[in-house]
Amino acid sequence: MEKIYKGKTIEQAVAKACEELGLSVGEFSQEVLDLGSKGFLGIGSKEAAVKITYTPDACQCVRDYLEGLFEKMGIEDVAVDITTQKETVVIQVTGDNANLLMKNRGEGVDALQLLLSLIVNRDCGEYYKISFNVNDYKEKTKDRLEALAIKTATQVVKNRRKTTLPPMTSFQRRIIHAKLQDFENVTTYSVGEDPNRRVVVSYSGEDGPAPRPDRGPRKGSRNDRGPRRDGNRGGKGGYAKRSYSDRKPRREYVPEGEIYTGPITHLPGEKLSGSAAKAPVSPASAPVEQAGSSSSPVTGGTPFSMDSENV
């Protein structure tokens, strides 16, 4: 890794680098970029510049990156614990504000772990494995997924049918595969592409998977409606049609010159309203004017006959 430090003199620039990096002069190489100048009476002075090349410590590299990242994200009041175990850098972040990284099924934790791995292995010159954890997220996820794996495998063996789990990250899929690798009569494999890649838990017993049940013909098809009844479609769609026997009879037509003998509903030329218009009048109760009479009991004045113009 390379950094440039400046000072009034070369010695001051090198001392500044040693203090900031926590290294001694023999632990890094230096290259003078500018000797600097005092100028005339302080006018036109220029600082000396030194380029420092060093191999940073993996823990310090991770800490510097996370501090800058959390500052830009607005994550405050979090504790960062970094330790080294052989070739693995273990990073544990704790704090309520750090829960922001665990959203979307922990994709932020996995993405940040990959990013830190790329940065450390690029700048440190040695290969390190990175284990990044936030508020014991990985331990809680491992316990939950192992319980899900055992429950799913038990159902697969019982029903002899494969089961596809919801989409998972690579870390979550590894937990499922590792937990069921020794489970009897069960095999696991992944299908699909990220981010929708899933784990399939399949039955691998000698008797093979269970056959699909015969569901029979599909119900409710067009050919299953049956014949029509009374002009209807048997209550399975279509327009309901009334039979002709339910219709009211038409009014009889009385030719001119003949006497109507049916029920009298209203008098000629009279308009009825209300209940009187609906109440029929029987022929027996309706008075009929005799031919040649001077007055009509029905109309109360004008004589009524079949030859009248009112008919």
Provide block-wise average pLDDT over 10 residues at a time, the chain (311 residues).
Answer: 80 83 75 76 76 80 89 88 88 88 80 90 84 90 93 93 91 93 93 90 83 63 56 52 60 66 57 50 47 44 47 44
Q: Report yes or no: 169 and 106 within 8 Å, Cβ to Cβ.
A: yes
Same domain, 85 and 49: no
Same domain assignment for residues 152 and 186: yes
221 occurs within a structural domain: no
Burial class (CB in 10 A: 0-12, 13-18, 19+), 161: middle
Q: Is the dihedral of CA 148, 151, 156, 157 positive or negative?
A: positive
pTM over 0.85? The answer is: no
Give the tokens for residue 128.
């390190």
**Residues 123 and 1: beta-carbon distance below 8 Å:** yes
- Single out the residue of 55, 53, 62 nearest to residue 119, CA to CA: 62
Whether residues 43 and 71 share a domain: the answer is no
Total domains, the chain: 3
User: Where does a domain end: 119, 135, 151?
Assistant: 135
8 Å CB contact between 108 and 101: yes
147 and 123 assigned to the same domain: no
Q: Has residue 280 been placed in a domain?
A: no
Q: What is the pLDDT of residues 129-155, one digit of tens each?
A: 999 999 888 898 999 999 999 999 999
Considering the domain boundaries, does residue 87 fall inside one? yes
At residue 186, the pLDDT reads 93
Question: What pLDDT shows up at residue 282?
Answer: 47
In this prediction, residue 98 carries a pLDDT of 86
Q: Which of 203, 226, 251 is the last residue of a domain?
A: 203
**Are residues 131 and 72 part of one domain?**
yes
Residues 23 and 45 in one domain: yes
Buried b (16+ CB within 10 A) or exposed e, 186-207: bbbebeeeeeeeebbbbbeeee
Would you say the C-alpha torsion 105, 109, 115, 121 has a positive or negative sign? Answer: negative
Instruction: Quick: pLDDT tens for 36-58.
Output: 777 666 676 788 888 887 777 78
Residue 146 DSSP one-character state: H
What is the reported pLDDT for 291? 44
Boundary of a domain, candidates 203, 228, 257: 203
Q: For position 75, which CATH number holds?
A: 3.30.300.20
Can you read off the two tokens belonging to residue 137? 């997220």
Residue 147 has a pLDDT of 94
Q: What is the pLDDT of residue 218?
A: 61
Amino acid 238: pLDDT = 52
What's the CATH code of the domain at 165? 3.30.1370.50
Same domain, 7 and 72: no
Residue count of the chain, please give it.
311
Instruction: Please tell me whether residues 131 and 143 are part of one structural domain.
Output: no
Judge whether 190 lies within some domain.
yes
Q: Which domain holds residue 199?
A: 138-203
The pLDDT assigned to 299 comes to: 43
Residue 233's pLDDT is what? 52
Q: Are residues 92 and 124 in the same domain?
A: yes
